[in-house]
Amino acid sequence: MHFIHSSVYNCTIFMHNLLKKVVGGNFLKIFFYTLLFFPSTTSALTVSPAISDAQVENHDVIEKSIEVTNDSDSIRGYSIRVGSFSQLDDGTPNILDNTEYVSWFSGLPDFFELGPRENRKVTYFVTPNAPATGSYFFTLFVVETSRDAMSTNVQTNSTVASLLFLNVGKDNNQNLLVTSFVPKTTIVWSTPQKFIFEVKNSGKIFAIPQGELRIAPFFSNTIYAASLGVQKRVLPDFSRQYEVGWNPQGIWWSSLNPFRFGIFDVDLVLQNTEYSGSLRTRFILLSPSGILLVVIIILYTVWRFVYYKKSVV
Quick one: pLDDT at residue 30?
A: 39
**For the chain, domain boundaries:** 2-168, 176-295
Q: Dihedrals φ, ψ of 145, to 5°?
A: -155, -170
Nearest-CA neighbor of 80 among 62, 65, 95? 65
Please state the pTM of the whole predicted model: 0.61
pLDDT in tens, 151-178: 655 555 678 888 898 888 876 566 788 8
Quick one: pLDDT at residue 64?
A: 96
What is the arithmetic mean of pLDDT over 203-219?
83
Do residues 50 and 42 make contact, with C-beta atoms less than 8 angstroms apart? no
Indicate if the alpha-carbon torsion angle 63, 168, 128, 56 is positive or negative.
Answer: negative
What is the arithmetic mean of pLDDT over 131-151?
82
* Most distant pair of Cα atoms in the chain: their distance: 107
99 conformational bin, left if phi > 0, alpha if psi -120 to 50, beta if neither: alpha
Instruction: Give whichever of 125-129, 137-141, 208-212, 214-218 has the largest mean pLDDT.
Output: 125-129
In whole angstroms, give the CA distance from residue 191 to residue 184. 12
One fold for both 2-168 and 176-295?
yes
CATH of 176-295, one of 2.60.40.10, 3.30.420.40, 3.80.10.10, 3.40.50.720: 2.60.40.10
Asked whether residue 115 carries a pLDDT value surpassing 90, the answer given is yes
Report how far apart the first and last C-alpha atoms of the chain are (Å, whole number).
100
Quick one: pLDDT at residue 232?
A: 83
In whole angstroms, give the CA distance from residue 172 to residue 167. 8
In whole angstroms, give the CA distance from residue 94 to residue 301. 68
Question: What is the DSSP code string of 166-206?
Answer: EEESS-----EEEEEEEES-SEESSSPEEEEEEEEE-SSS-
Nearest-CA neighbor of 100 among 112, 84, 79? 84
Asked whether residue 4 carries a pLDDT value surpassing 80, the answer given is no
Strands 62-70 and 45-48: antiparallel
Window from 1-15, 110-124, 182-196 with minimum mean pLDDT: 1-15
More confident call, 289 vs 209: 209
CATH 3.40.50.300 fits 2-168, yes or no: no
What is the arithmetic mean of pLDDT over 74-101?
74
